[in-house]
Structure 1
Amino acid sequence: MTATQHRPPDAQQGQLVEMSWDPITRIIGNLGIYTKIDFANRRVAECHSTSSLFRGYSVFMKGKDPRDAGFITSRICGICGDNHTTCSVYAQNMAYGIKTPKMAEWIMNLGEAAEYLFDHTIFQDNLVFVDFCEAMVKDTNPSVLARAENTEAPHAGIHGYRTIADIMRAFNPFEGDVYKEALKVSRTTREMFCLMEGRHVHPSTVYPGGVGTMPTPTLFTDYLSKLISILDFCKKAVALNDDIFDFWYEALPGYEEVGRRRVLLGCWGAFQDPEVVDYSYENMNEWGKAMYVTPGIVIDGKLLTNNLVDINLGMRILLGSSYYQDWVNEEPFVTHDPLGNPVDMRHPWNQTTLPAPGKRDFADKYSWVMSPRWLHPDTGEHLALDTGGGPFARLYTTALSGLVDTPYVKSTGHSVQISLPKSHELPEQTIEWQIPKWSNALERDRARVYFIAYAAAMAIYFLEQGMARMRAGDTKVFQDFEVPDEAIGVGFHEAVRGVLSHHLVIKDGKIANYHPYPPTPWNGSPRDMYGTPGPYEDAVQDMPIFEENGPDDFRGIDIMRAVRSFDPCLPCGVHMYLGNGRTLQKLHSPMFGAGNGG
């Protein structure tokens, strides 16, 4: 991990040093972090988050058959494509007026649970924990490693590592035991996903109206056996994480400020309840609250709303530092929602994407990411919500709401209790995620492994429900439908790293407007038209640095931990924007001959 820096040869102590990391490693896409660092006071004085990538799905979705939307938008990302497919299906179900068969909902929930298990495991143990492994800590904070060698691990009886340093060694890439075991678990969980959704990462059996996966005893028992095989890992992982992060607070007093920002969290909910959901906009508040991950917006630690109708209407897409022209003078696609509420011109249903490439200028425009914000209905403030990397917001809103009550997961109003049954090595265990004091790097990372346990516990519940319905003879998984000439729809879901919504407008039986809003624009947005920084920028700017290296060999490990705690993912585009009047031509090489590429 290296940084680019600019410092005058005669720089004196106290001057700001410009340092950048572009692209950020260990993530997908072109994310750049540009900072000014005050080494005399050990703090980040300024931060800008950039993306040099234009995706533009909203441009080429127009005119397409809306039934193709799930298959096309899945390609937005090679990591969480199934989350996009699922969210698109939710939006289409609303537009087409579909109530999906209950068995199909249980199967989709099982697929999405496997996806959370897969993705969170590989990111936490094979990517994030490289920042906390022995090799990295030895390079950036040798005094911390020395202390770790002599610090007993409180949960050694569960995970088997005697000292904190032993845990750090287990995180070493390619060599550490936890690192290698996580790769095996990721393979198992991907196989679980494929049982339910056909193919990873672009599902082949998920459609509007239901699924193409047929429920059989073999399907459910294969999934269950794989799930049981990873439960020991889930239990050990929680204990390992608690030991590492509790140690970090003790070893480096003040570390709670790394990546810390105001508690401004959004969660759009996940895991539909088949007994309640009908996908109608008119009933969205009711079926939203019945989700097994509760949607909500949390401001300064207090739950503001669970109502998906209010959440939808409060969305605003702002520009400011983004490479786009404004669209407010365009004709609106939607003036009122199905309940008669007015829809703002800056709402995704009315957005028109007008790319305007330019030179990067931190005083003006510097990123292809727009700035989604949520309008506070009382204060009028455009809030730069973040997702906490996904799990932090999901657990926070679910805990505060107190609406989830199953044999395996219960939300209490201040915590989430997760019960995992007996597994190969470890007995039945109930763990509890409690709302922490801070929204910071360490707590975002800690929440991720608790949500792995959450997803595993919910998967057991979904299996029980699906098998019971199969034994009762209900195996219907698809509902016929017709595409209307005109309709609107919105899908709300949780991608792995946070909030995901798809906004669909149909006219003349074709897509007239389509805007997917995944977590990356929310987390990685630049400064908006009001000058409000995006969450990455806000979390890094003005934070202290604890790395022991000086400017000449500075790694920026604290900055990287802060950014990576959000699970950043700027997925690669699959097209090019060439501007008006230009044509993309495919040229054939004489070496290969016409028709064979070149």
Structure 2
Amino acid sequence: MTSTIPSPSTFTTDDKGLTEMAWDPITRIVGSLGIYTKIDFGNMKVAECHSTSSIFRGYSIFMKGKDPRDAHFITSRICGICGDNHATCSCYAQNMAYGVKPPAIGEWIVNLGEAAEYMFDHNIFQENLVGVDFCERMVAETNPGVLERANATEAPQAAAHGYRTIGDIMRALNPFTGEFYREALQVSRYTREMFCLMEGRHVHPSTLYPGGVGTVATIQLMTDYITRLMRYVEFMKKVVPMHDDLFDFFYEALPGYEEVGNRRILLGCWGSFQDPDVCNFDYQDMTRWGRAMYVTPGVVVDGRLVTTDLVEINLGIRILLGSSYYDDWQDQEMFVTHDPLGNPVDRRHPWNQHTNPRPQKRDLDDKYSWVMSPRWYDGTDYLALDTGGGPLARLWVTALAGLVDIGYVQSTGSSVRINLPKTALKGPVELEWKVPRWSNTIERDRARTYFQAYAAAAALHFAEKALVEIRAGRTKTWEKFEVPTDGIGCGFTEAVRGVLSHHLVIRDGKIANYHPYPPTPWNANPRDSYGTPGPYEDAVQGQPIFEENDREHFKGIDIMRTVRSFDPCLPCGVHMYLGDGKKIELLHTPTQSAGVG
């Protein structure tokens, strides 16, 4: 049987008796992420970890001089997975810079598109990529004793999901042969259809613009979306209890497993799903409309919610270098000295960033990655926030803030309640995600399941609101605007994997500076200029190892589970650079072949 996980690509022992192991590239993710570790097999723990990325793309360089109205079409190409999140965020930044407020139906359509993207992407990643880490074949290779126990353990919620034992769940997750694995592939098809109904095509929207959308708003459009959505709602009534049983089992079967991927609770969420009754995209009102989002923006430090203010969140962003392959911009131009409210803007803020690539040989003691190191400055410390893979931070902030109450979803101050209505085969179900004790591997994966249900429930609300607009005849989906000669804008939303911001500076009607910061730079960054490890590094470094294989046959499953729990997507980690460019001359035009036309 072919192994479901590759062995480390390097295997050496240093003078301290630590075994150096590297996985480069990490599989089952997008992009060239490398994880380099030193493992103490005597104490069964990871002693050291470095996270590297070997790709540089340079969007912040070639956006300069472009027409601002092209920004969302260009930046959606940052990624072939979450391109629509970039397009949405770019449109938000442009709306601010142009001073335009889209019609309500336009915003409900954007919300429905983004909700479908969360459902699609979280489903395919959780079930067809992360799920493999917990499937029967994987557990048989790395922890045969755990599989034996799983086969003998009754699933507590078998009546809800249909699998009698935990071992049955693991078999259903086997790639290509597992029943649930194959079912999830079908789900990813119709959730993508849902997205295309709202935004034209996946993953680079064709109907999304600043000022609104080009989608024609009809009752038939909403009906087509809702019929697929209700299938997904029914699917989630099975998925959430199934994953709860599986993840709870790992805590029970492997005492101490909560320490795998555990790190200090430092979570950031930039909010998602605008409320068009409140949001006008004016920076001066950003605190108010940010708090009206249907996923609340905020920062959680050591379990405490320290802010839900998007203005404060924006001003606290800092881009540090340290172990990344760039020269500093300390003596270069400041584009924005003060925000529209008069607050000073730091030189290390994205509005003022310059991208100065300095390619060099990888040196784990010095420079070793193309990813910069975003941090959030709280006035005292430069905090290495992570996104918890996206859902963990979104649910944690929303739960503590207690600002969301739309019938289908309520945040209580300590939990999030999700109400799924009656579907074809099942009655109504209430789910509750409770703030966990840890920010670790299992809880990142668990939150991803619950947020799929959250997105579905929120979409029901958005569809109802859209139908109200359509039935009232308010079907205008786009508002005209003028591009200013000079201006600034910022967009905040949640990409599938977490925080996403776009910062835009316009001069003489062209883009003077543009910096997108997706979730992966926040999660995958190397040690910064203060020596602080990035979240991948921090979560892996120091974690215990529960794999039953000896050093010669070690797979690193606990390390892989931790890294993949963040949902890595390295194309978004570094933003094609050609230096001074090359001139290509056509010296010969080949004659067209006969019969080819």
TM-score range relative to shorter protein? over 0.9
Indicate conservation of the 8 Å contact 1:55/1:572, yes or no: no
Within the alignment, does 1:327 sit opposite 2:332 as a pair? no
- The residue aligned with 1:51 is 53
1-structure distance, mates of 2:171, 2:435: 29
- The residue aligned with 1:461 is 461
- The residue aligned with 1:418 is 418
- The residue aligned with 1:2 is 7
Task: Give me the TM-score of the superposition, normalised by structure 2.
Answer: 0.97
CA 1:525/1:573 → structure 2, altered by over 3 Å: closer, same or farther? closer
CA 1:467/1:363 → structure 2, altered by over 3 Å: closer, same or farther? same
- The residue aligned with 2:305 is 303
- Following superposition, the deviation at residue 304 of structure 1 comes to 0.3
Indicate conservation of the 8 Å contact 2:520/2:573, yes or no: no
Letter in 2 for 1:318: L
2-structure distance, mates of 1:409, 1:242: 19
- Following superposition, the deviation at residue 152 of structure 1 comes to 0.1
- The residue aligned with 2:36 is 34
Letter in 2 for 1:420: L
- The residue aligned with 2:178 is 176
Indicate conservation of the 8 Å contact 1:285/1:307, yes or no: yes
Unaligned runs of 5+ in 1: none
2-structure distance, mates of 1:21, 1:414: 38
- The residue aligned with 1:337 is 339
Letter in 1 for 2:389: G
Indicate conservation of the 8 Å contact 2:93/2:504, yes or no: yes
- Following superposition, the deviation at residue 376 of structure 1 comes to 1.0
| Equivalent of residue 187 in structure 2, options 177, 185, 188 | 185
Within the alignment, does 1:255 sit opposite 2:257 as a pair? yes
How many residues matched? 588
Indicate conservation of the 8 Å contact 1:321/1:528, yes or no: yes
- Following superposition, the deviation at residue 473 of structure 1 comes to 1.2
1-structure distance, mates of 2:139, 2:103: 51
Residues 380-428 of structure 1: per-residue CA shift (max 9 Å, x gap): 1000000000000000000000000011000000000000011122210
2-structure distance, mates of 1:397, 1:588: 60
Within the alignment, does 1:268 sit opposite 2:278 as a pair? no
Indicate conservation of the 8 Å contact 2:320/2:529, yes or no: yes
- The residue aligned with 1:528 is 528
SS of corresponding position for 2:571:
coil
2-structure distance, mates of 1:589, 1:552: 57
- The residue aligned with 2:582 is 583
Residues 63-95 of structure 1: per-residue CA shift (max 9 Å, x gap): 000000000000000000000000000000000
1-structure distance, mates of 2:509, 2:241: 53
Question: What does 1:16-27 align with in structure 2 at a 5 Å threshold?
Answer: 16-27=18-29
- Following superposition, the deviation at residue 586 of structure 1 comes to 6.9
2-structure distance, mates of 1:278, 1:532: 38
Task: Give me the TM-score of the superposition, normalised by structure 1.
Answer: 0.96
- The residue aligned with 1:435 is 435
Residues 288-331 of structure 1: per-residue CA shift (max 9 Å, x gap): 00000000000000000000000000000000000000001001
- The residue aligned with 2:559 is 559
Unaligned runs of 5+ in 2: 1-5
2-structure distance, mates of 1:243, 1:186: 23
Indicate conservation of the 8 Å contact 1:268/1:500, yes or no: yes
Question: What does 1:338-377 align with in structure 2 at a 5 Å threshold?
Answer: 338-377=340-379
Residues 490-542 of structure 1: per-residue CA shift (max 9 Å, x gap): 00000000000000000000000000000010000000000000000000001
CA 1:369/1:448 → structure 2, altered by over 3 Å: closer, same or farther? same
2-structure distance, mates of 1:54, 1:475: 43
1-structure distance, mates of 2:124, 2:470: 32
Residues 1-40 of structure 1: per-residue CA shift (max 9 Å, x gap): 22123325xx89x710100000000010010000000111
Letter in 2 for 1:247: F
Letter in 2 for 1:131: D
- The residue aligned with 2:445 is 445
State the superposition RMSD in angstroms.
Answer: 1.6
Indicate conservation of the 8 Å contact 1:263/1:299, yes or no: yes
CA 1:591/1:441 → structure 2, altered by over 3 Å: closer, same or farther? farther
Within the alignment, does 1:517 sit opposite 2:522 as a pair? no
SS of corresponding position for 1:127:
helix
1-structure distance, mates of 2:7, 2:592: 43
- The residue aligned with 2:235 is 233
Letter in 2 for 1:338: P
Question: What does 1:48-447 align with in structure 2 at a 5 Å threshold?
Answer: 48-377=50-379, 380-447=380-447
CA 1:217/1:591 → structure 2, altered by over 3 Å: closer, same or farther? same
SS of corresponding position for 2:410:
strand
1-structure distance, mates of 2:592, 2:170: 55
Letter in 2 for 1:341: N
1-structure distance, mates of 2:371, 2:35: 13
SS of corresponding position for 1:283:
helix
1-structure distance, mates of 2:231, 2:370: 43
Letter in 2 for 1:374: W
Letter in 1 for 2:244: D
- Following superposition, the deviation at residue 577 of structure 1 comes to 2.4
Indicate conservation of the 8 Å contact 1:28/1:571, yes or no: yes
1-structure distance, mates of 2:423, 2:25: 41
2-structure distance, mates of 1:6, 1:180: 35
Residues 267-290 of structure 1: per-residue CA shift (max 9 Å, x gap): 000000010000000000000000
- Following superposition, the deviation at residue 588 of structure 1 comes to 7.9
Indicate conservation of the 8 Å contact 1:5/1:17, yes or no: no
SS of corresponding position for 2:346:
coil
CA 1:246/1:583 → structure 2, altered by over 3 Å: closer, same or farther? same
CA 1:414/1:83 → structure 2, altered by over 3 Å: closer, same or farther? same
1-structure distance, mates of 2:150, 2:533: 36
- Following superposition, the deviation at residue 217 of structure 1 comes to 1.0
CA 1:486/1:551 → structure 2, altered by over 3 Å: closer, same or farther? same
Indicate conservation of the 8 Å contact 1:27/1:568, yes or no: yes
2-structure distance, mates of 1:289, 1:574: 30
Indicate conservation of the 8 Å contact 2:520/2:572, yes or no: no
Indicate conservation of the 8 Å contact 1:53/1:572, yes or no: no
- Following superposition, the deviation at residue 583 of structure 1 comes to 1.7
